Each structure stands twice: as C-alpha cells, then as structure tokens.
Amino acid sequence: LMNLIRDTLARARRLGERPPTFWPPTPLGHLPHFQSDPISFFARGYARHGDAFRLKMFGQETMVFCDAEHVRHILVDHVDVY
C-alpha cells in the first residue's frame, strides 16, 4: 500500500495533478459550514469527491481521507513518513 501511495503521489506531481478540492464557499473557507454541521459537511465532501479531497480551513489547505485503510496507513503504520 505504501508503494502504491508513493507511486500515485509521484505520478500526480509529474502530471501536476492534485486531489479534487472542495472549494470554500465563503471568505472564511469552510469554517462556517463545518461549525454548523460537521457530519454533513464531510458527507457532502465525500459524496462530491470520494475517498480523498482537499479543503481550506483556518487559512490552511487540508487533505481529508475517508477510507479507513488509508487513515490507518497514514496515522498508524507509517506515522514517521507523514
């Protein structure tokens, strides 16, 4: 899995591709929508873009991973890499 993620990221860099962005609807980014209903906020992002997407909150671009295997890979198995 780690090699697959590395290869995918390397390919994306070469081709200038990035995960889809759930663009902020307000100057404050996604914060107002996140604060009012965080569960439906992430559900909408997942419905529109799938397992991985970007968003902007607190002035920072953030990656969201919805697949449990990806989350485990990043936060448990290879925390030192990320």
Q: What are the pLDDT digits (tens) for 5-31?
A: 666 666 666 656 666 677 666 777 777
Q: 47: how many CB neighbours lie within 10 A of its CB?
A: 9
Q: Rounded to whole angstroms, what are the CA distances from 23 to 8, 31, 63, 77? A: 23, 12, 12, 30
Exposure string of 53-69, with b = 16+ CB inside 10 Å and e = fewer, is bbbbeeeeeeebbeeee
**Tokens for 61?**
């671009």
Express each pLDDT in 49-58 by its tens digit: 888 888 877 7
Q: Looking at the whole model, is its pTM more than 0.85?
A: no
